[in-house]
């Protein structure tokens, strides 16, 4: 039980970073052990030392994805309810280059997730969690009279649908949908819901 001479978690984080870098540049189709090792400037042995195999590597990549989504430099919710919901939506959208990279990876993960049972289940759970977060704000807003009553679950699905769909469009047409335009569309969308 001797402690490591190097910080295991820290090194593992470095590998994560390399994985992130490869994904941002070449997508899941270009994610290979060797590419990660090259991005890290190390051998493939190092990579397998921290992640048993490619499967674990991919799973971990999706974990990072979720963690970064949750821990991103987000604007604080100015107030509970509708304002918080708006903030949550803006926190998902590719409004900055970093956020764009993250979303690019997220969208790319769908191909592999749809073909792998385990990843598929994990992805479903992630969506569930996302929806639950939105739902809380929606119910707050309904209680405050900012949103009309109605099944909050359905509304959460609608809001998440709109947001994710906007993510995809923004990724494929960044010039037509810069940050300001995305924000405007969110406000238009929310205005339609409140009417």
Partner DNA sequence: CCGTACATAACAAACGTTTGGCATGTACGC
Partner DNA sequence: GCGTACATGCCAAACGTTTGTTATGTACGG
Least CB distance to DNA at residue 45 (A)? 3
Query: Which of 34, 132, 143, 172 forms a contact with a second copy (CB under 8 A)?
Result: 172
Name the one range near DNA by CB under 7 A: 35-43, 75-83, 99-107, 151-159. 35-43
Tell which residue, 15, 61, 5, 59, has the closest CA to residue 38: 15
Query: Which of 17, 21, 48, 120 forms a contact with DNA (CB under 7 A)?
Result: 48
Residue 62 near DNA by CB under 7 A:
no
**Could you tell which of DNA, a second copy, none binds residue 62, using a CB distance below 5 to 8 A set by kind?**
none
d(CA 83, CA 193): 13
Beta strand segments in 98-194, E: none
Quote the tokens at residue 128.
Answer: 């569930």
Residue 73 near DNA by CB under 7 A:
no
Q: Which residues inside 63-92 make contact with a second copy, applying CB under 8 A?
A: none
Count of CB atoms within 10 A of residue 160's CB? 19
Count of CB atoms within 10 A of residue 14's CB? 15
> What are the φ/ψ torsions at residue 176 (nearest 5 degrees)?
-80, -25
Residue 151 exposed, middle or buried by CB count within 10 Å (0-12, 13-18, 19+)? exposed
Residue 39 near DNA by CB under 7 A:
no
Query: What is the helix (H) or strand (E) element at residue 154, kind and residue range?
Result: helix 152-172
Q: Which residues inside 104-163 make contact with a second copy, applying CB under 8 A?
A: 104, 107-115, 120, 123-124, 127-128, 150, 154-155, 157-158, 160-163
User: Total number of residues binding a second copy (CB under 8 A)?
Assistant: 47
Place of tokens 């997508």: 27
Contacts with a second copy by CB under 8 A lie at 25-30, 104, 107-115, 120, 123-124, 127-128, 150, 154-155, 157-158, 160-169, 171-173, 177, 184-185, 188-189, 192-193, 195
Contacts with DNA by CB under 7 A lie at 1-6, 8, 11, 31-35, 42-46, 48-50, 52-55
């Amino acid at each position: 039980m001797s402690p490591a001479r190097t910080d295991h978690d820290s090194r593992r984080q470095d590998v994560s970073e390399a994985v992130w870098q490869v994904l941002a540049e070449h997508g899941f189709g270009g994610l290979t052990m060797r590419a990660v090792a090259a991005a890290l400037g190390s051998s493939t042995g190092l990579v397998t030392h921290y992640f048993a195999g490619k499967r674990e590597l991919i799973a971990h990549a999706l974990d990072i994805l979720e963690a970064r989504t949750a821990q991103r430099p987000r604007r604080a919710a100015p107030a509970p309810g509708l304002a918080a919901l708006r903030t949550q939506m803006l926190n998902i959208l590719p409004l900055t280059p970093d956020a764009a990279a993250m979303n690019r990876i997220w969208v790319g993960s769908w191909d592999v997730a749809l073909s792998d049972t385990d990843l598929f289940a994990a992805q479903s759970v992630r969506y569930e969690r996302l929806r639950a977060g939105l739902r809380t704000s929606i119910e707050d807003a309904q209680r405050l009279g900012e949103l009309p009553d109605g099944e909050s679950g359905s509304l959460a699905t609608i809001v998440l649908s709109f947001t994710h769909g906007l993510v995809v469009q923004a990724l494929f047409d960044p010039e037509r949908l810069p940050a300001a335009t995305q924000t405007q569309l969110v406000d238009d969308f929310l205005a339609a819901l409140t009417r």
